[in-house]
Amino acid sequence: MTQVIVCPGCGAKNRIPADKGHLTPKCGRCRQSLAGEPRSGLVNPLTDTQFQRLVEQSVLPVMVDLYSPTCGPCHTLAPVIETLAREYGGRLLVFKLDTTSQQMTAARFRIRGVPTLLFFKAGQLVDQVVGAVPRAEIEQRIVTLLS
Ligand SMILES: [Zn+2]
């Protein structure tokens, strides 16, 4: 499995082979350190303070899974989100946001329940899904997002 990190300095898409995923990656174009940058191909944890830079300024389309640690349907959905993140690695950036500790984002988007999936393209909220819906339903939204 290949992971992709978009360089925040120059915008280059860096492919990180899975066997080198543990190393501290650097941008192949400008040599900037990519440590701590979100990886396409994985589900990345997200905080309220990171939201603007990592979601609204993302070069890749973004899906955010808003969840709560104590919510059963959220646990059901989590492995589905992980699988989709892997399948769409290189094309989609996937985050998870814990609404119990990161409440600003949930309030801003008027999230009424978890799990809720938010879809962003070019910094704009373009779609959302509420509840642990079937994988095919989420995949359809992703396909639309990437089209
Ligand atoms: Zn770079």
- pLDDT tens-place values along the chain, 147 residues long: 678 999 999 999 999 877 766 678 899 999 999 999 999 999 999 999 999 999 999 999 999 999 999 999 999 999 999 999 999 999 999 999 999 999 999 999 999 999 999 999 999 999 999 999 999 999 999 999 999
Ligand 1 centroid to Cα of residue 30, in Å, is 4
Ligand 1 centroid to Cα of residue 33, in Å, is 8
Which stretches within 61-132 are classed as H helix? 72-87, 103-108
The answer to whether residues 27 and 14 touch, using CB atoms and an 8 Å cutoff, is yes
Cis peptide bond prior to 45, omega within 30° of 0: no
Residue 96's CB: how many other CB atoms inside 10 A? 20
One CATH from 3.40.920.10, 3.40.50.720, 3.40.50.300, 3.40.30.10 for 39-146: 3.40.30.10
pLDDT at 33: 93
> Which pair of tokens denotes residue 11?
């915008």
pLDDT at 16: 86
Ligand 1 centroid to Cα of residue 71, in Å, is 39
CATH topology of domain 1-37: SH3 type barrels. (2.30.30)
Ligand 1 centroid to Cα of residue 37, in Å, is 12
Query: Can you give the residue ranges of every domain in the chain?
Result: 1-37, 39-146
pLDDT at 146: 97
- Residues with active-site annotation: 71, 74
